[in-house]
Amino acid sequence: MTQRNVELVIISDVHLGTYGCHATELLEYLHTIRPSQLVLNGDIIDIWQFSKRYWPEPHMQVIRKIMQFVAEGVQVYYLTGNHDEMLRKFADLKLGGFHLKNKLVLELDGKKAWVFHGDVFDVTMQHSKWLAKLGAVGYDSLILLNSFTNWLLNMAGKPKMSFSRKIKSGVKRAVRFMNDFEATAVAIALENAYDYVICGHIHQPTIRRVQDQSGSVVYLNSGDWVESLTALEYHAGKWCLYSHHEKHLLPEPVRQEATQVKQELRF
């Protein structure tokens, strides 16, 4: 199989150990790349919903492939998220080319990239963790129902649909949360003079340049491997989103927009 050389690959929100995880598709993607650095930006293993009764072979193969990358000299950074937060007590662990961290700053061609999962901006996570965990179970159930519905639609020759995507785009509170999340990440990145701020958590793949009076920053989100099946790639000074649905990189240029950013959260 032909492999592409890529300087940096960032994936997040794989949720290994859940029914919604597309481990087979992720494995297909990982077999097509030869990265110098791989960042696993949180919620890779879903410890919240982990069960001994459900751990299919493709999920184990993803772990093996990541370990193969480490053995081949790839620098692999595992950044903790909320679904794998139990690993945070082991932060700063280093085993050869494998690094376990909570956040990361990378130098990319003279520019600074700030990478972290993003759950620190989630008020539900900070104050009502039980509600967030209940929501995770509900989300996984919704994905199962969605899969069955899409099977029926496929049998009927009709296009697939995404329940959760419709909910996210249709519920004003969800839209406002995502906008606030992005604005807060951008505000802190501008304050610290980062050139790129890279998150996961909200499962919305994005590359966007944001500018205000104090400067500009590129906000990126790697999406997920539950619905969007996307990854971020950095190579030869350029960022791209890989879409497994499209089976190729999306060469869409970075969009630029002026915005007023929020200055509320700090960490």
Q: What is the pLDDT of residues 206-235, one digit of tens each?
A: 999 988 777 889 999 999 999 899 999 999
The reported pLDDT for the residue numbered 40 is 98
Q: Concatenated DSSP letters for the chain?
A: ---EEEEEEEE----BTSTT--HHHHHHHHTTEEEEEEEEES-SB-STT-BTTB--HHHHHHHHHHHHHHHTT-EEEEE--STTGGGGGGTTEEETTEEEESEEEEEETTEEEEEE--GGG-HHHHH-HHHHHHHHHHHHHHHHHHHHHHHHHHHTT-----HHHHHHHH-HHHHHHHHHHHHHHHHHHHHTT-SEEEE-SS---EEEEEEETTEEEEEEE---TTTT-EEEEEETTEEEEEETTTTEEE-PPPEEEE-PPP-----
Q: Is residue 266 part of a domain?
A: no
Q: Is the pLDDT of residue 258 over 80?
A: no
Q: What is the pLDDT of residues 103-125, one digit of tens each?
A: 999 999 999 999 999 887 654 44
The reported pLDDT for the residue numbered 164 is 53
The reported pLDDT for the residue numbered 144 is 55
Average pLDDT over residues 54-67: 96
The reported pLDDT for the residue numbered 67 is 97
Q: What is the pLDDT of residues 46-55, one digit of tens each?
A: 887 777 788 9
Q: Is residue 94 part of a domain?
A: yes
CATH number at 248 reads 3.60.21.10
Q: Is the pLDDT of residue 77 over 90?
A: yes
Give the range of the structural domain holding residue 73, as residue numbers without chain letter.
4-258
Question: For residue 128, what pLDDT band results from cuts at 50, 70 and 90?
Answer: very low
Question: For residue 167, what pLDDT band results from cuts at 50, 70 and 90?
Answer: very low
In the chain, the N- to C-terminal Cα span, in Å, equals 44
The reported pLDDT for the residue numbered 246 is 81
Q: Is residue 34 part of a domain?
A: yes
Tally the domains of the chain.
1
Residue of 224 and 245 predicted with greater confidence: 224
Q: Is the pLDDT of residue 252 over 60?
A: no
Q: Is residue 41 part of a domain?
A: yes
The reported pLDDT for the residue numbered 29 is 97
The reported pLDDT for the residue numbered 132 is 42
Q: Is residue 226 part of a domain?
A: yes
Q: Is the pLDDT of residue 130 over 70?
A: no
Q: Is residue 263 part of a domain?
A: no
Asked if residue 217 lies in contact with residue 226, where contact means CB atoms within 8 angstroms, the answer is no
The reported pLDDT for the residue numbered 153 is 54
Q: Is residue 264 part of a domain?
A: no
Q: What is the pLDDT of residues 5-34, one digit of tens each?
A: 999 999 999 999 988 899 999 999 999 999
The reported pLDDT for the residue numbered 217 is 94
